[in-house]
Structure 1
Amino acid sequence: MTNQIPEITLHDGVQIPAVGFGTYKLKGHHGAQAINHAIANGYRLLDSAYNYENEATVGEAIRRSSVPREELFITSKLPGRYHHYEDAIITIQESLFRANLDYYDLYLIHWPNPIQDNYIEAWQALIDAQKFGYIRSIGVCNFLPEHIERLEKETGILPTVNQIELHPQFNQLEQLKWHKEHQIITESWSPLTRGSQLLQDKRIQKIADQYHKTVSQIILRWHYQLGAIAIPKSVSPVRQKENISIFDFQLSETEMMMINQLTQPDGRIKDQDPAVYEEF
């Protein structure tokens, strides 16, 4: 299948697909099969993490695929317990070994863990790992603007990407605006809110009916028009195809506004506030 997903250029010149495939909880043979199907269905961005314990599964799916490695965009993430510099370098190496890869296209610090306050060390490790050729582009997850400002102040280097919780019930418009002002691309984790009642929302269903699309497709198109890279997950080949069939229509400003109005002050799925949350 020809890949029809547009690409976005990061501020370091690296190009990243505008929609990716989430791999959280996809493990073992069935996980590798689902990821392999996603590649066959046109996905090129695969999102993993050290703490997902499935980097080897992602690597196996890549091995099974007929798509050349250089056409894929593989992401993984550094866990909170390995933020000290030497630990971080070794962990990045281990991530590569697990996936049987020579490099990652994007590597992220998974959470800032501000109470431990070692994320500057971790960021310096990513900067150096990029120089070593382990990583093409470096970024963060779940960082607030004050965390990113400190990265720039202490190292002079801004992340290319910040992956944050973003969905219609928690639209993060202020942080999106801040990212754009600093040329940081936003990635959306849990873009469909992990199967919540959002997919039954009659207001979004009404829009979907007008475009002959599913509610998921409307939400993913909303992410795309916000300028955010959604990384939906599905083991169903049919839904995998649906989730990237969002480039043949455009939501109106009124429709975008209506979806934005679904946001809630307490809209986080698990109340994981980056200001205080500590990842293991």
Structure 2
Amino acid sequence: MAANLQDTVTLNNGVKMPWFGLGVFKVEEGNDTISSVKAAIKNGYKSIDTAAIYKNEEGVGQAIRESGVSRDELFITTKVWNADQGYETTLAAFDESLKKLGLEYLDLYLVHWPVKGKYKETWRALEKLYRDGRVRAIGVSNFHVHHLEDILADCEVKPMVNQVEYHPRLAQKELREFCRSNEIQLEAWSPLMQGELLDNPVLKEIGEKYGKSVAQVILRWDLQTEVITIPKSIKEHRIIENADIFDFELSAEDMEKIDGLNEDRRVGPDPDNFDF
């Protein structure tokens, strides 16, 4: 169990990845991206998650350079977008992302969505990047169990991470168990359900019991279910507050109450029905 903001989980290839990080989905390129990433790093965050489609990789890179923190102390993730999937196009997209970030290597590169008919070729490209030492770990995002089974059937390198929509209304129990049994680390995007859960009475009551906000309760639940989490914020006080979750532990009873909120409900697209 993560005891502090710098604590890590060991992925199936031995690389250590922080349990907690900053996501920059829909953060505007420029000052918003630079200031939020710098604020996160200043306040002890080590993991930053971006993607080619977020169009803010350059800002993330600038913030890293201006942070004053050594590159090897940070864990940087980006993702190949759907339009670039395929073998050669993925290799070119990786080069472009690395150039925008201004980095010599990545810590984690993900296949952003399981584009039908392309994601296996994309995975072959990630395996090459991994073998060539250009990325320390590779994984996928938004993959259901059947997508993972398809990859595992003939891959040379097993995915280390699966980043998916995950929050108390979408607990993904079957996927979580599959990933655990196959040594694939689950990671949550949209852990706060884009704010939809912040007025939930059950979560409010639990928060009052511990003297914590609803957001802090949810993020703590993520960690206690052994799921990496990367909440987004552009406000420094919120970035600090989101990470203030290592001084309490949810009881088994409260974990059950939160588990009981599951409705298998998404705020993002279903990977099987996403219009790529």
Residue aligning to 1:269: 267
Identity across the alignment (%)? 40
Q: Is the 8 A contact 1:138 1:159 kept in 2?
A: yes
Residue aligning to 2:113: 111
Residue aligning to 2:186: 186
Question: Within 1, Cα distance between the matches of 2:266 and 2:205?
Answer: 25
Deviation at 1:133, TM superposition (A): 2.2
Residue aligning to 1:32: 34
Q: Which runs of no fewer than 5 residues in structure 1 stay unpaired?
A: none
1:162 aligned to 2:162? Answer: yes
> What amino acid maps onto 1:50 in structure 2?
A
Question: Within 2, Cα distance between the matches of 1:127 and 1:71?
Answer: 24
> What amino acid maps onto 1:275 in structure 2?
D
> What amino acid maps onto 2:120 in structure 1?
I
Deviation at 1:67, TM superposition (A): 0.9
Structure 1 residues 196-246: Cα deviation after superposition (integer angstroms, max 9, x where no partner): 1x1011211111111111111000000000010111011111111111111
Q: Is the 8 A contact 1:111 1:278 kept in 2?
A: no
> What amino acid maps onto 1:239 in structure 2?
R
1:235 aligned to 2:234? Answer: yes
Residue aligning to 2:142: 142
Structure 1 residues 70-97: Cα deviation after superposition (integer angstroms, max 9, x where no partner): 0000000011111111101010011000
Structure 1 residues 31-61: Cα deviation after superposition (integer angstroms, max 9, x where no partner): 2011111110111110000011111110011
Question: Within 2, Cα distance between the matches of 1:239 and 1:96?
Answer: 29
> What amino acid maps onto 2:189 in structure 1?
W
Aligned residue among 28, 48, 51 for 1:49: 51
Secondary structure at 1:199's aligned position in 2? coil
> What amino acid maps onto 1:195 in structure 2?
G
Q: Is the 8 A contact 2:127 2:156 kept in 1?
A: no
Question: Within 1, Cα distance between the matches of 2:245 and 2:202?
Answer: 18
The CA RMSD over aligned residues, in Å, is 1.1
1:257 aligned to 2:259? Answer: no
> What amino acid maps onto 2:90 in structure 1?
A
Secondary structure at 1:139's aligned position in 2? strand
Q: Is the 8 A contact 2:5 2:20 kept in 1?
A: no
Question: Within 1, Cα distance between the matches of 2:19 and 2:237?
Answer: 20
Deviation at 1:159, TM superposition (A): 0.4
Q: Is the 8 A contact 1:5 1:244 kept in 2?
A: no
Deviation at 1:146, TM superposition (A): 1.4
Deviation at 1:19, TM superposition (A): 0.7
Structure 1 runs of 4+ aligned residues shifted over 3 Å read: none
Q: Is the 8 A contact 2:5 2:19 kept in 1?
A: no
Question: Within 2, Cα distance between the matches of 1:167 and 1:83?
Answer: 28
Aligned length: 272
Residue aligning to 1:244: 243
Question: Within 2, Cα distance between the matches of 1:241 and 1:44?
Answer: 13
Question: Within 2, Cα distance between the matches of 1:195 and 1:4?
Answer: 22
After TM superposition, the score normalised by the length of structure 2 is 0.96
Q: Which runs of no fewer than 5 residues in structure 2 stay unpaired?
A: none
Secondary structure at 1:200's aligned position in 2? coil
Structure 1 residues 108-127: Cα deviation after superposition (integer angstroms, max 9, x where no partner): 0000012xx11110000000
Structure 1 residues 9-40: Cα deviation after superposition (integer angstroms, max 9, x where no partner): 00000000001100112211222011111110
